[in-house]
Amino acid sequence: MSKTRFVTKIGIADCHGIESYKNIDEDNSDGILLIRVMANRQRHAVLYKVEVPEMIDRLIQRKIKKRDFIKALEILKDFNTGLGFPENAKESFKKSWELIPNPKLDPWR
């Protein structure tokens, strides 16, 4: 029996779905990502760190490649384990995470 392998990802999501989705070891720029998130909180942008099964990771990447950012986020939310947010914004990010994706939340739409 094969053991499910997981990958750790970091990225940005908002009311329009996944904006970025990278391997944790690929991008150590949490600070830069957090600045981008804080500049877009009106869209419920969050910085997330998750673990997902490799099979789900490939599915999310296919959805992103097809520019289906909303479906990619929905899949990520359904199949992630080990969800985490920066400690200094944890509560507000959790609230936004529950609301997204939902393009109607964009005040500039």
Can you give the three-state secondary structure of the chain, one letter per residue?
CCCCCEEEEEEEEECCEEEEEEECCCCCCHHHHHHHHHHCHHHCCEEEEEEEEHHHHHHHHHHHHCCCHHHHHHHHHHHCEEEECCHHHHHHHHHHHHHCCCHHHCCCC
pLDDT tier, 46 (very low <50, low <70, confident <90, very high otherwise): very high
What pTM, to 2 d.p., does this model score? 0.91
% of the chain residues with pLDDT over 70: 94
CB atoms closer than 10 angstroms to residue 9 = 23
Q: What pLDDT does 29 receive?
A: 65
**Average pLDDT score over residue span 53-79:** 97
| pLDDT over threshold 90, residue 32 | no
- Edge-to-edge order in the sheet of strand 81-84: 17-23, 6-14, 46-53, 81-84
| pLDDT over threshold 60, residue 27 | no
**Average pLDDT score over residue span 33-39:** 92
